[in-house]
Structure 1
């Protein structure tokens, strides 16, 4: 609509420059301005302040028409035909404003797309939901130019909102808050974003801050809202639909990334179960299967009950006392097994690790029985239990004292010690029997062959019952060939069917003279237990990288408590059973729920003396075949633990010398004949000797080894070889996993080559830092030429993309401190 009003009626205000910009356009200058230059008909165009922009100033004495756009006065047209001129310029101004608005909108869309693309790149490299939330809040704060941004997630367990990240002004003074009836509560219910430009009673927000305007977007996946992203301003502001659209897009990226992270974690947990396991540590086998598996383990554990009998008889005790000690030992075995499997940290490892009598305690236990009977034995075993509790705390604080290769040495020595017993038994030889018959060899071959066939045969879950099947066939073949001792079977009739056989209980006593041998035995036993707990952890986790020290320490606690309880009632010391750990691994059933059934069977067996005696009459060839089977798995597990870490010269000695000492004592037990008493105590068994030597060498040879190393790098043709040699050497000295070193070396090389190509650098400094959880590599560019700040700013984006590509390629964390310094973090 045209307005004939005089310019003076337009009123004051700022000068509108729309017409000035319009008249500078070539198309307008070429096609419209000539209409104003006719000298016979003076015409002019002025701005809203009356300044002539085009045409003849004399035209201002004639009629005028306002050039308007909506309610805005852009200027005036003067002279003849001012109506047409005003209409033309009004249309051109409207078109120009639409074009400029479209340009602004396109620019905003471009900024939004660029921001979302950058956000997606950053989120991909984020290691966890907290980092994702921090990145999202930073982008929301920057893009919307607001005062505060916070990401809140709903904890389904507590039904409270947790503030995962907050950038800018503080959103809330607490880390969690209730789901109230405010804006965030409504969004959690509706799943729809909201704009509140004036917070108040009608639109409250439960937050301790000074925000007056907010825009809130839901975190939503699979039709489920699990959080909210809040951006707000302390000064009242008009957030619009475009702001909400941007925040919704950012929140969608965050929700998808957090959900993917959760799914990856769930998948990783599932993939932790090795493919050859049938029942993992937390899986529950059916009742029938559990009972049959538990019976196998109870049978194998029975084979170790010869140790308490040996201790009592060697100390001059009678068979009635031996029977009482066996019954009490079975109860102690049940307590230890139950603590390990069913209780979990801090009183047990949370793993299936049955307890059996410990052979390492045999020599000091015989000494205690000879000096003070069952009372002194009970007191010293209880003392060793207290030592185990103390040792469990040391183990957590000084885990570097017990690296995986040391545990591997212990497991390997246990397997070799079993092999020493298994070899003569396999051919039917036993103390007092120096003649082997064809029948005994045939039974051993049948038993072992059956176990092997059912272990490797792809027939359902036959592997679970391979030892039981082999033992049953071995028993049957032994009976058919007449290998049982009729006199021993005749003694079964003299034993009661049910009852707890207990001789007179004696008050536990303590003798300081026996303290050293019992502490040595306890130390060796605890380190051995730690090795087997690590072995069980590795068996249950396909992605195993390092020992779980909490479970490890709790496993030692269970051993200590079990020995304190067992010793108090008159049993001998118990330890994690090598044979049972091997059996669980071989059968593919490591469920800790089996521990309950095995412990209950131990308690029942303690009250069945006739059954115990019958189970103890295992034919020697059958027992030998079973020990060969168990020893093979232990030897394999020991080698696997040793090979899980890189070894340098120091660690080769820590592994090699103890193994040589232990194997030498196995081959020549007379080596310590005539040695002082303290030597005889230390070398009471090959396992104890190897354990103590390995521990001492690990402390002595690794003392003073720094966990930090630095070197300079030259970017030439020898770079890759030098980096690989340096990182490998340091990794071996630290006992790092080879897989980590094989990723770290090429990642460092790739980054150095990127510096050379992008910044023209020719040298860098490399710092390596190692602990049991991570290997950190810091690379600093040493080229400090001046005048390159502009170039560095231009290439910062390329450097950042290269860093993230290396992070994805080699599976490591990355932190770009500056364009010249980067930190790679490899989880160990």
Structure 2
């Protein structure tokens, strides 16, 4: 099956301006690539800033920390688009791994480590946990363990999973903050709608650059209002231009820049729960980008290479000293808005990010983008992803009460359980509510086994289980996806009813995906001939 056939069969990608393998002119591609990255800057900055705040990292170190995230993001994107699944997906800092990261930071900074600042001790423990947990992800990907899951996936599972990726940020503070500036958010969102939906037929620039045009116009407006004193320092739309001038020109970013990573098994187990949630989210992203770009659903081979490469890049991020790397849903939403699914475009954007990640002024300029503007971007991008998830239901028999129950139930619990987990600030607070220490003490006492040598391993195992429940339970797409996966494969239903018969026709064959190794061997054979 070819990509053209999948589009003809009704894929969402029928409106694609540039397909995955197409190469727009270099200048246009650079601008489009930067636009892809601008859609995810809010999230890619939020993660390091949240971690830096939790570690009480000094301001000068924080700027370098943020820059490192962008350098890692660019390198991981180049690796994924070239050697991994080869989808045009930007890689960035994962929110799914933020909960265990904050738990690690909380535990380490509470106790302190002699001879090191608390932030450095916490960061080294975080690096070690990410490296070891991600090595397991590498094995799961390249040994085919994740790809085998594809045979259990149907549109009934994928639709709510993708939809929950978009719905997960409906309560983001950039949107729902009590002091929200709705005029600025409305300006950004209105400009995106104007350019992408109303003026897209008037000029190609409106179709290709709605995000970057809206972002630049909204930022210039807020910067001008800030300079002329119309909005003050405490206003959510205030732009601090002075902070840009105070930035360093170049930032020293290199492997092991914070020191040698340290390894604690309890932290590794907790981080692995975040890695699992990231894997579930990434699989949903793969299906979403295939749907949007007019490609067939990803093959088992492509999924394996994608997850394997994400694991390798997570290991790399640990070595560089960041909080991990995963596929970014914001970028997928940009494909839906702009119709630009070119791998080449994303690769050029990644190259730009690697360069500017070393430039202190860039990171500070990005940091000045006000939350209301980011909120407007979020509404447009994530609304698009929700629609992509729902579009998968066209393959499903929606007259089936079985299907409507599974889909509705998965969506509901995928929103409800993370909302409940939001009552707890961290896994530590969740452990206290569960009464972990008391439960372990009761088990040890009731079974008659005693002594620290026995109690400590039991407590560590119980802690790992509770932390895993908290982390996965805090990730909507993981909860909804796992519930839908279980129900869809246990509640009786025909292949036609579940949408598998139609989907099999649209899924790419294993031979359609050429890994880097396949292409290298083909080139080598051709050279010998």
**TM-score range normalised by the length of the shorter chain:** 0.7 to 0.9
Question: Could you say which residue in structure 2 is the equivalent of 1:675?
Answer: 433
Question: Could you say which residue in structure 2 is the equivalent of 1:527?
Answer: 280
Question: Could you say which residue in structure 1 is the equivalent of 2:194?
Answer: 453
Task: Give, in whole Å, the separation in 2 of the partners of 1:679 and 1:450.
Answer: 45
Task: Give, in whole Å, the separation in 2 of the partners of 1:282 and 1:736.
Answer: 27
Asked if the contact 2:167–2:386 (Cα under 8 Å) also holds between the matched residues in 1, the reply is: yes
Task: Give, in whole Å, the separation in 2 of the partners of 1:388 and 1:525.
Answer: 10
Deviation per residue, 1:277-335 (Å, 9 max, x gap)? 11000000111111111121222232121211211321343334433332322222112
Deviation per residue, 1:628-679 (Å, 9 max, x gap)? 1011101101112344334656555543333222322465555566533654
Of 249, 257, 276, the match for 1:497: 249
Deviation per residue, 1:235-255 (Å, 9 max, x gap)? xxxxxxxxxxxxxxxxxxxxx
RMSD: 3.2
Question: 3-state SS of the aligned residue for 2:92?
Answer: strand
Of 77, 99, 102, the match for 1:363: 99
Are 1:580 and 2:331 an aligned pair? yes
Question: Could you say which residue in structure 1 is the equivalent of 2:373?
Answer: 622
Task: Give, in whole Å, the separation in 2 of the partners of 1:692 and 1:667.
Answer: 12
Question: Could you say which residue in structure 2 is the equivalent of 1:730?
Answer: 494
Are 1:554 and 2:287 an aligned pair? no
Are 1:511 and 2:264 an aligned pair? yes
Are 1:282 and 2:34 an aligned pair? no
Question: Could you say which residue in structure 2 is the equivalent of 1:758?
Answer: none
Question: Could you say which residue in structure 2 is the equivalent of 1:183?
Answer: none
Question: 3-state SS of the aligned residue for 1:369?
Answer: helix
Aligned counterparts, 1:67-106, within 5 A: none
Question: Could you say which residue in structure 1 is the equivalent of 2:207?
Answer: 463
Question: 3-state SS of the aligned residue for 2:326?
Answer: strand
Cα offset, 1:592, TM superposition:
0.5
Question: Could you say which residue in structure 2 is the equivalent of 1:600?
Answer: 351
Query: Structure 1 residues 306 and 425, CA, compared in 2 at 3 Å: closer, same or farther?
Result: closer
Deviation per residue, 1:515-570 (Å, 9 max, x gap)? 3321211111011111111111112226x4x4322222211122111111111121
Question: Could you say which residue in structure 2 is the equivalent of 1:691?
Answer: 478
Question: Could you say which residue in structure 2 is the equivalent of 1:390?
Answer: 139
Query: Structure 1 residues 773 and 570, CA, compared in 2 at 3 Å: closer, same or farther?
Result: closer
Cα offset, 1:687, TM superposition:
5.7
Task: Give, in whole Å, the separation in 1 of the partners of 2:188 and 2:239.
Answer: 24
Deviation per residue, 1:131-157 (Å, 9 max, x gap)? xxxxxxxxxxxxxxxxxxxxxxxxxxx
Asked if the contact 1:401–1:695 (Cα under 8 Å) also holds between the matched residues in 2, the reply is: no
Asked if the contact 1:566–1:572 (Cα under 8 Å) also holds between the matched residues in 2, the reply is: yes
Asked if the contact 1:420–1:666 (Cα under 8 Å) also holds between the matched residues in 2, the reply is: no
Asked if the contact 2:273–2:472 (Cα under 8 Å) also holds between the matched residues in 1, the reply is: no
Q: Which has the larger radius of gyration?
A: 1
Cα offset, 1:490, TM superposition:
2.5
Of 285, 290, 305, the match for 1:537: 290
Are 1:299 and 2:299 an aligned pair? no
Of 119, 122, 125, the match for 1:373: 122
Residue ranges of structure 2 left out of the alignment (5+ in a row): 109-120, 425-429, 435-462, 510-529
Task: Give, in whole Å, the separation in 2 of the partners of 1:267 and 1:478.
Answer: 44
Larger RCO of the pair (alpha carbons < 8 Å, separation 6+): 2
Are 1:479 and 2:223 an aligned pair? yes
Higher share in strand: 1
Of 290, 309, 312, the match for 2:49: 309
Aligned counterparts, 1:690-709, within 5 A: 690-692=477-479, 694-695=481-482, 698-699=485-486, 702-703=489-490
Task: Give, in whole Å, the separation in 2 of the partners of 1:270 and 1:670.
Answer: 40
Query: Structure 1 residues 332 and 646, CA, compared in 2 at 3 Å: closer, same or farther?
Result: farther
When the two structures are superposed, what TM-score results if normalisation uses the length of structure 2?
0.75
Task: Give, in whole Å, the separation in 2 of the partners of 1:443 and 1:516.
Answer: 42
After TM superposition, the structure 1 stretch with the greater mean CA deviation from structure 2, 580-589 or 667-676, is 667-676
Question: 3-state SS of the aligned residue for 1:317?
Answer: coil
Question: Could you say which residue in structure 2 is the equivalent of 1:636?
Answer: 387
Question: Could you say which residue in structure 2 is the equivalent of 1:341?
Answer: 81
Question: Could you say which residue in structure 2 is the equivalent of 1:319?
Answer: 59
Deviation per residue, 1:708-734 (Å, 9 max, x gap)? xxxxxxxxxxxxxxxxxxxxx623565
Question: 3-state SS of the aligned residue for 1:278?
Answer: coil
Deviation per residue, 1:56-85 (Å, 9 max, x gap)? xxxxxxxxxxxxxxxxxxxxxxxxxxxxxx
Task: Give, in whole Å, the separation in 1 of the partners of 2:272 and 2:404.
Answer: 27
Task: Give, in whole Å, the separation in 2 of the partners of 1:772 and 1:271.
Answer: 14
Task: Give, in whole Å, the separation in 2 of the partners of 1:470 and 1:642.
Answer: 32
Query: Structure 1 residues 696 and 658, CA, compared in 2 at 3 Å: closer, same or farther?
Result: closer
Asked if the contact 2:18–2:341 (Cα under 8 Å) also holds between the matched residues in 1, the reply is: yes
Cα offset, 1:573, TM superposition:
0.6
Question: 3-state SS of the aligned residue for 2:369?
Answer: coil
Task: Give, in whole Å, the separation in 2 of the partners of 1:275 and 1:286.
Answer: 22
Question: Could you say which residue in structure 2 is the equivalent of 1:415?
Answer: 166
Cα offset, 1:591, TM superposition:
0.4
Question: 3-state SS of the aligned residue for 1:284?
Answer: coil
Task: Give, in whole Å, the separation in 2 of the partners of 1:265 and 1:772.
Answer: 10
Query: Structure 1 residues 270 and 497, CA, compared in 2 at 3 Å: closer, same or farther?
Result: same
Aligned counterparts, 1:238-277, within 5 A: 268=5, 274-277=13-16
Task: Give, in whole Å, the separation in 1 of the partners of 2:331 and 2:272.
Answer: 25
When the two structures are superposed, what TM-score results if normalisation uses the length of structure 1?
0.49
Query: Structure 1 residues 351 and 444, CA, compared in 2 at 3 Å: closer, same or farther?
Result: same
Task: Give, in whole Å, the separation in 1 of the partners of 2:281 and 2:294.
Answer: 20
Question: Could you say which residue in structure 1 is the equivalent of 2:523?
Answer: none
Question: 3-state SS of the aligned residue for 1:336?
Answer: helix
After TM superposition, the structure 1 stretch with the greater mean CA deviation from structure 2, 470-479 or 648-657, is 648-657
